[in-house]
Structure 1
Amino acid sequence: MKQHGRTTFILARGLLALGLIGCGTAEDALEPTAEAPLGTSHAALTVYEQAALDTAQTSASCTPLGNFYWELGTGAGPLYGIPRGSGVSATTVMPIASASKWLYAGAYVQSRGYANLTLDEKKRLNFTSGYIDENTTLCGDAGTTVSDCYGPAYKNVSFRSLQNGRYFYNGGHMQKLALDDIGARKGTGLASVMDWINARLGTTLPESDSDVAPAGGFSGSAAHYRVFLTKLLTNQYELSSKLTVDSVPAWQGGPNVSFTPWTGGQAYYGLGHWIEGETVNGAWTVTGHSSPGAFGFYPWVNAARTRYMLLARSRQLGEEEGEKSRVCAQAILKAYELGVPQP
């Protein structure tokens, strides 16, 4: 990535006041003065920041997405943020769907210690365990426990012997794991699932009734999820150095792949997250790790674990919204790295 003399994180309030984007140093953005009222700036955007902004506003991969918030950062925190449109900022809470999987996997590995994981536990985290749910309900009734969610009234998870050892993208693997580990915990209140997650990850994710579906029921904001990603980058989790371990093929037509929603070419699945890559000179190499949600929430860290990225949005009617967010987010990142807007 290009190195610049200045990095800027723009707050949503300044951006919305301008109608597009504010600029200046981080101090300028955080603390407007009498000489610089809210929505004005002291300095122009860098060519890299402007390229990212232009791409977010006009790229063919981003314009169909509606309003969203995009952020790039390091283990020290945000570098640059862009709200596109109005109504979505770094602190907007929304359902994050399958982005929940990375959080639950991180908390589970943290609680057990990677060295203590059994083969069965690893298979439930990389979706080769054979445990598949029959339906897609999130078990969101107040007072529901993880055990209730597992049973026939809700997700109805069952073991499929023919799928044991094969990759099958499905929340049932994690639902079975949660049943054995935190089965009596509820979505909200005393002894909640999110209390358990937050205590292990050092996060402050909010509670919701659907938290009892750990593979897809969590809610949060970019700011909430950012904490997890920065700690992941700074080696504060057991999972930090284990992002490529126990990975299995997860692309359509891949060996031992029964079902996958991935449409972005060759990819693998590790412990609760996707492993993205690209083929260069005939060799496939890892480019990053992610956990896109069905409604469009897309968290990502690069292969070197020096950068994180988030695209936060929630469109609950649509198809392949996570993939659409991935393509847009990567286009904005490329524009920021090259200083050239992407079409």
Structure 2
Amino acid sequence: MAERKILAWLAAGVAVVGAGAFAAQTRMAGPDGGDAPPMVQLPPLAVPSSRTASPAVVPSALTGLTTTAGGYTYDWTALQAAIDADSEVANGYFIVGNATDPDYLFAYEKGSFGIDRVTPLASASKWFAGVLAMRMVQAGIVTLDDPMRPSLAFWTTSGTKKDVKLKHALSMTSGFNGSPLVGGCQLTPALVLYNCAKNIHDLRYDILRPGNAPGAQYSYGPHAMQVAGAYLEAKDSSIQPGTSPARERTFHELFAQHVTTPLGMASTTWYDPAGSAPTNPWVAGGAYSTPRDYAKLLRALLGGAFVTDMAGFTQQRTAGLPRIFVPSGATGWEYALGSFVECDTVAACATSKVNSSPGAYGWVGWIDRDTGYYGLIATEISSGGDRKGVELEQEMQGLIEAAIASRTPIP
């Protein structure tokens, strides 16, 4: 079993809404591999939900620490014991499943955290952005090699910035996110997504790092994701029926059309469902979901039919690139399209089939296409969740692999 790493994440991305919003939450790797001064903005503090969570719904086969599925018996005693022993995660919902069995292999509620509790995802939203893009690729609406212009009419026709493509925006290699101190419109919901993308385009990139060509550097943050969202919205050619005058679909409608509706994710939105849909959704960190819904997405990704080009979707796209802003401790991991490629060595990253998308409040979903399972830690920790979620994920991975390896056939 590979050595597990503990990471502190930028979670919802590097962004700016004012000087008072910054905090030294994690250290960043500079382009020379050394430490740069911590310049990290925390996402808005999670507010405990006032909504009453639905009672946990656990398949009948999961009433004990041993479960049966697909002709096998699994022993989850060690996994549940590790979850119970973790004092930093007092409340959470934990799921392990595969792509073939209709029930979860393991489902456990610790404390008070129902399977239908609506929860802010922070950076776990980034996987949603990548999935939406890939589904629109499958629909023939976009390609990963699409340039930003002409759909984003404001996009420059000169300099290296003209060469930014959708794949760059989704893989943190666009040339944006060069500094967290400029351009924070992604946290202004009343704007229009298109106008926010223009703001990022105009204020960032070449004026901060001349010659920073797309595909030349890896810099983790929220700005390019916002551009990608605006591009997907602008590129859509379908017309919303029954409207006068007819109009193209919004980002929220596209997400519903291509992702949540096909998967039956009725409680997943790119905004707090207690409010209303913003015209400028926070693409890199503003989604809300439930454990039940997010598990549906993970199961679909593991199955390989929902996103048919899983190799292209999950492959590393940052190997060998200078790292400008990267979550502290993540220097051994690479980035794909909205998810991290988990690996311990450079060579392992090229073949790793473990992808994850951690969030600031401890929410972590991952798929392991080698072992053949998906896992989910659904929790909401107001302080330290960015560290704790991944720390527990790494511990759980080894225990899940062991339980799968030692499963026994049902006589």
TM-score of the two chains, using structure 1 as the length reference = 0.73
- Structure 2 counterpart of 1:180, which letter? Y
Decide whether aligned partners of structure 1 residues 212 and 283 sit closer, same or farther in structure 2, where only a CA change above 3 A counts.
Answer: closer
Match among 76, 90, 93 for residue 66 of structure 1: 90
Query: Where do 5+ consecutive residues of structure 2 fail to align?
Result: 2-53, 68-73, 147-164, 237-246, 272-276, 405-411
Q: Distance in 1 between matches of 2:125 and 2:105?
A: 24
Equivalent AA in structure 1 for residue 91 of structure 2: N
Measured after TM superposition, the shift of residue 66 of structure 1 is 2.9
Corresponding residue SS for 1:295: coil
Cα distance between partner residues in 1 of 2:316 and 2:99:
25
Q: How far apart are residue 180 of structure 1 and its match? A: 2.5
Counterpart for residue 314 of structure 1: 380
Which consecutive unaligned segments of at least 5 residues does structure 1 have? 2-11, 16-21, 30-40
Letter in 2 for 1:245: Q
Alpha-carbon distance, 1:218 to partner: 0.8
Number of the residue aligned with 1:52: 79
3-state DSSP of counterpart to 2:94: strand
C-alpha separation between the residues in 1 aligned to 2:172 and 2:343?
19
TM-score, normalization: structure 2?
Answer: 0.62
Question: Which of 114, 118, 121 is the equivalent residue of 2:166?
Answer: 121
105 and 217 in structure 1: CA distance in 2 versus 1, 3 angstrom threshold:
same
Give the structure 2 partner of residue 131 of structure 1. 176
Tell me, in whole angstroms, the C-alpha distance in 2 between the residues paired with 1:111 and 1:287. Answer: 23
Tell me which residue corresponds to 2:332: 266
Is the Cα–Cα contact under 8 Å of residues 95 and 375 in structure 2 kept in the other structure? yes
Whichever residue aligns with residue 296 of structure 2, its letter is: V
The CA distance in 2 between the partners of 1:89 and 1:332, in whole Å, is 20
Residue pair 1:169, 1:261 contacting (<8 A) in 2 also: yes
CA distance in 1 between partners of 2:292 and 2:185 (Å): 27
Deviation at 1:179, TM superposition (A): 2.0
Residue 103 of structure 1: which of 128, 132, 141 is its match?
Answer: 128
Distance 1:287 1:316, change over 3 A: same
Counterpart in the other structure of 2:232: 181
Q: Deviations over 1:203-259 (max 9, x none)?
A: 43235246712111111112111222111122221442324435213xxxx641111
Q: Which residue of 1 aligns with 2:117?
A: 92
Paired residues of 1:145 and 1:184 also in contact (CA < 8 A)? no
- Cα drift, residue 294 of structure 1: 1.6
Structure 2 matches for 1:96-245, cutoff 5 A? 96-113=121-138, 116-118=143-145, 120-132=165-177, 134-136=182-184, 138-139=186-187, 141=189, 144-150=191-197, 152=199, 158-160=204-206, 161-164=210-213, 165-182=216-233, 191-201=249-259, 202-203=262-263, 204=265, 205-208=268-271, 209=277, 212-235=281-304, 236-245=306-315
Q: Which residue of 2 aligns with 1:328?
A: 392
CA deviations on 1:263-317 (whole Å, 9 max, x unpaired) are 255111011110001359x866525101111221101000327211110112233
Bigger relative contact order, structure 1 or 2, given CA contacts below 8 A and separation 6+? Answer: 2
- Equivalent pair of 1:157/1:176 in contact (CA under 8 Å): no
CA RMSD between the two structures: 3.5
SS, match of residue 212 in structure 1: coil
**SS in structure 2 of the partner of residue 89 of structure 1:** coil
Identity of aligned residues (%): 21
Residue matched to 2:43: none
Count of aligned pairs: 292
Deviation at 1:192, TM superposition (A): 4.2
Residues in 2 aligned to 1:283 and 1:171: alpha-carbon distance in whole angstroms: 27
Distance in 1 (CA, whole Å) between partners of 2:66 and 2:79 is 10
Distance 1:84-1:163 versus aligned 2 partners, 3 A rule = farther
Name the SS of the counterpart of 1:65 in structure 2. coil
